[in-house]
Amino acid sequence: MAEVLVYVDHLDGAVRKPTLELLTLARRIGEPVAVALGNGAADTAATLAEHGAVKVLTHDAAEYADYLVVPKVDALQAAHEAVSPAAVLVPSSAEGKEIAARLALRIGSGIITDAVDLEAGAEGPVATQSVFAASFTTKSRVAKGTPVITVKPNSAAVEAAPAAGAVEALSVTFSAQATGTKVTSRTPRESTGRPELTEAAIVVSGGRGVNGSENFSVIEALADQLGAAVGASRAAVDAGWYPHTNQVGQTGKSVSPQLYIANGISGAIQHRAGMQTSKTIVAVNKDAEAPIFDLVDYGVVGDLFEVVPQLTEEIKTRKG
């Protein structure tokens, strides 16, 4: 059976959820061979094996943390040469897309980004994408070379599928470009204790109607009752009420949770682009004409400062 390279996104050995989803998709096409780089690379093996990795290629060097993107491209290229895979799958983070693109160019392949589904096809893997602010769904494939495909979080279920997960050291020679862009300092993002926005099963968002950073506590209280991530519209972010890392929309994160709750968000195209593929959509807005209501499964026309705290209380009561 053909092997499929899966690039592992991990933090000091802790594998992030989108990588496990990639293993589920990789198993539809062939046998997953994972590539884990940098500090803690070898620590990823047990989790990866549990989810279907037949092999885990690892390499650690200071370059992965000290320089931007290119060292990882060099390593993935080395893995591609060693394995001759049927496809290369990479998580669709900003960095993942850049790594995948440069790899594709080097190995003479096409690249598809932001797939939301993947299936085996007669002429290679077929990727489903959601485009034009999620108003269209396309099916595409790579026409030349080894398909390189990046996949968005929440595109597949994480499945247990125990496999050997044998750890092998990957031999990597860094290119002249590897040390081109130096990371002179890194400030880790402070953890909020909430789920990662793109990976969360439930997202609770606030927009212009929240009217002030201090009022976001209302949104956060609901999110915490539901174990949800907190999102914000561009209007709220531009006003400085919530950090840009939480922005949902065209120029922020694109999310596809089981449940999306939009509070005080009108639903402009810029926002819809980032959340339209959510399974269930709920909105609270005092303007009955807001375009967000065209998308919802359930909407409440009302003051979010009345409705949201009541909802939060009610959930608390029901949970006992």
Partner 1 sequence: MSLRIVVTVKYVPDATGDRHFADDLTVDRDDVDGLLSELDEYAVEQALQISENADDAEVTVLTIGPEDAKDALRKALSMGADKAIHVEDDDLHGTDAIGTSLVLAKAIEKAGYDLVISGMASTDGTMGVVPALVAERLGVPQVTLLSEVSVEDGTVTGRRDGDTASEQLQAQLPAVVSVTDQSGEARYPSFKGIMAAKKKPVESWDLSDLDIEAEEVGLDGAWTKVEDATQRPARTAGTIVKDEGEGGKQLAEFLAGQKFI
CB of 303 to partner 1, least distance (A): 7
State which amino acid sits at residue 266. Answer: S
Q: Which of residues 95-134 bind partner 1 (CB under 8 A)?
A: 95, 97-98, 100-102, 104-106, 109-114, 126, 130-134
Interface stretch with partner 1, choices 27-35, 37-45, 56-64, 307-315 (CB under 8 A): 307-315
Q: Which residue, 167 or 219, has its beta carbon nearer to partner 1?
A: 219
Residue 294 found at the interface with partner 1 (CB under 8 A): yes
Pick the piece of the chain touching partner 1 (CB under 8 A) from 55-63, 65-73, 79-87, 205-213.
Answer: 65-73
Angle formed at CA 170 by CA 165 and CA 171, multiple of 5 degrees: 165
* Least spacing, CB of residue 90 vs partner 1, in Å: 11
Of residues 193-222, those binding partner 1 (CB under 8 A): 196, 198, 202
173 forms part of the interface with partner 1 (CB under 8 A): no
Residue 130 to residue 125: CA distance in whole angstroms? 16
110 Cβ contact partners less than 8 Å away, ≥ 6 residues apart: 104, 142, 143, 144, 145, 147, 148
Please identify, among the stretches 27-35, 43-51, 81-89, 94-102, the one whose residues bind partner 1 according to the rule CB under 8 A.
94-102
Closer residue to partner 1 in complex, CB, 170/204: 204
Listing DSSP states for 245-291 in one string gives: GGBBSTTSB----SEEEEES----HHHHHHHTT-SEEEEEES-TT-G
Report the residue number, 52 or 274, with the smaller CB distance to partner 1: 274
Which residue in this structure is represented by tokens 């370059």? 63
Give me the sign of the Cα torsion angle 44, 46, 50, 56: positive
**Residues within window 12-51 making contact with partner 1, judged by CB under 8 A:** none
Q: How far are the Cα atoms of 17, 230, 272, 279, 319 from residue 156, in angstroms, in the given order?
A: 10, 22, 22, 13, 29
Per-residue binding letters, 266-285, with partner 1 (x by CB under 8 A): ---xx--x--x---xxx-x-
CB of 120 to partner 1, least distance (A): 14
**Would you tell me the crossing angle of helices 70-83 and 94-106 to the nearest 10 degrees?**
50
From 38-46, 53-61, 93-101, 154-162, give the range in contact with partner 1 by CB under 8 A.
93-101
- Binding segment for partner 1 among 21-29, 37-45, 80-88, 175-183 (CB under 8 A)? 175-183
- The residue type found at 97 is K
